A and B are shown apart, each in its own frame.
Chain A
Amino acid sequence: MKRLLKIFFLLLFLMLNLIEMKTLAQVIKEETEALIIEIFGEEVNFTFSKFELADTIKKKVESIVKQKFFGEFIYLYTISANDKIIAFGFLDNVYGKSMPITFFVLIDINGNIISTNIIKYREAYGGAVSNKAWIEQFTGKNIEANFKVGWDISSISGATISVNSVTKGIKKILLLYEEIKDEL
């Protein structure tokens, strides 16, 4: 009986850990998709793809923004209503002090930002970039904007690294869109 109980608790413990492993990535996917519905309504359709970044485009954008892309792909959501594309969503990551910050930028087909959101923040410090007041200031901006922290983008005391990283990351998405929009 004791042995059975030991096995039971061991299995329970392992199961709980595996469930955690499975859902962290799943939560990011679900939250991103829930955001699309929240902003555009239930009637929209969206498709997801992993857009591969061509080397030339990658290097060009990286050198302007002075920030590297997180990986070889960018997660792209194409949102349409009534068979017409109305917006694009880019799910990407930048590094804070040592952890990735996952964020989502929704832009209209003209390259204007509809909404930006921090999907997952993982550090102990600098989490204030998730504050609505800060992240919402990107709405309406396009590639003409300065994206200069301390000027058109307000800074956050104690979150210098994350503020700068996320600001560059969002600018990077707009520049990328400019380069690839004809392919989409």
Chain B
Amino acid sequence: MRYGFATLTVLVAMFILPSIGVSQDFDFFEPHTTLGGYGELHYNYSKIEDAKSKKTLDFHRFIMFFGYAWTEKWSFKSELELEHNFVDGEKGELELEQAYINYHHADYLGFQAGVVLVSTGLINEFHEPPLFLSVERPYYNKVILPTTWFGNGAALYGNTSGFDYKIVVMEGLNSDKFSASSGIRGGRQKGFKADAENLLYNGRVDYLGLPGLKIGASYIYNNANGDSTTIQIGLIEFHTQYQNKGLYAAFEIGNISYDSGDVEASRGYYFDVAYNIGKLFGIDSKILPFFRYYDINTAAETKSGGDSEKKYHYTQWMIGLSFLPIDQIAFKIDYAQKTVELESITTDLFNLGVGYMF
């Protein structure tokens, strides 16, 4: 009884005294909710050789971001995505793309747990429409780095001395869904009651110490398993981006090795160059004509060899224009010619798009 009363007194004193003593000055943080979002509408036209053209209009993705910060160190962030306007069976997708508790201990060390993103390439973590030039995300970031690559797991991150790093451990891939046409993309479990038998391990480092330049690499390892297959994959990639004085350039190259199955390796690269001509007109808006080239083969090395290594070997050049009246809105147009090595069949592609972020 005596101890209880003494404890109570001390507790009360501890809560009241500091708040009298400590000034409210220099305390700039207040708990708050953040709402945000991004999205994009696309018009896509494609024509393979003399075949009839295919045209689609699609609100490709609509994302709602909401988060809450309880303290300077503890916060929650999430992204909910609706793809293709509508969900019905196999049509459309509704996904919880991010949902994690974030503990920011210091700039050099933080921790995340929940639905997190794999830390790889230039676009997986920075995928808002005004942040890339073309209407659709680069093909490299579809079949080599399957953006948006997310899943249930945990991560450590930090920034120190010009270096930025992240280490992620999360659910692995379903090896039954790997394919020669799209590499490991089909294997993403997307968090749905994910099989946690074999976890995925990922590490990424970037150097940001030189003005306007980002240069980095990442590695991903997963002993992926499915109902009928087990395929160990190792993905290594290198990426760099430069933005200065109106010039914009990006380059990504990656390789995936598989230890079983017919496909033994997927690899590819692409590069973008653009220049902001808005400055020449003396306006604040950005007008970015750009050129892209890629060379990607999701079945670069196969056990069967021969045509199977040519069937999904694509090279493409693209020209386009990205217009950003303000930094958060982008109107885009692009035209490309894509050629497959097998029989040199060419596809004409034309796209229009509008995207936003806030």
Q: Does B75 contact A (CB under 8 A)?
A: yes
Given A93-B28, A150-B243, answer yes or no on A157-B122 (Cβ-Cβ < 8 Å): yes
Q: Are A150 and B72 in contact (CB under 8 A)?
A: no
Q: Are B162 and A131 in contact (CB under 8 A)?
A: yes
Q: Does A160 contact B (CB under 8 A)?
A: yes
- Closest chain A CB from B252 CB (angstroms): 12
Given A3-B3, A151-B245, A157-B241, answer yes or no on A164-B18 (Cβ-Cβ < 8 Å): no
| Closest B residue by C-beta to A151 | B245
Q: Which of A153-178 contact B (CB under 8 A)?
A: 154-160, 164
- Closest chain B CB from A127 CB (angstroms): 4
Q: Are B243 and A122 in contact (CB under 8 A)?
A: no
Of the candidates A15, A70, A121, A151, the one whose C-beta lies within 8 Å of that of B14 is A15
Is the interface on chain B under 10, 10 to 19, 20 to 34, or 35 or more residues?
A: 35 or more
CA distance A87 to B75 in the complex (A): 37
| Closest A residue by C-beta to B11 | A14
Q: Does A65 contact B (CB under 8 A)?
A: no
Of the candidates A18, A26, A128, A158, the one whose C-beta lies within 8 Å of that of B125 is A158
Q: Are B29 and A100 in contact (CB under 8 A)?
A: yes
Q: Are A4 and B125 in contact (CB under 8 A)?
A: no
Q: CB-CB contacts of A63-84 with B at 8 A, as 1s and 0s?
A: 0000000100001000000000
Q: Are A154 and B244 in contact (CB under 8 A)?
A: yes
Q: Which residues of B contact A (CB under 8 A)?
A: 3, 7, 10-11, 14-15, 18, 21-29, 32, 34, 36, 67, 69, 72, 75, 77, 102, 104, 107, 110, 112, 122, 125-126, 131, 157, 159, 162, 164, 206, 208-214, 241, 243-246, 276, 279, 327
Q: What are 6 of the A-B contact pairs (CB < 8 Å)?
A: A25-B25, A131-B209, A133-B211, A151-B245, A157-B214, A160-B327
Q: Which residues of A contact B (CB under 8 A)?
A: 3-4, 7, 10-11, 14-15, 18, 21-22, 24-26, 28-29, 50, 70, 75, 91, 93, 97-100, 102, 120-125, 127-128, 130-134, 137, 150-151, 154-160, 164
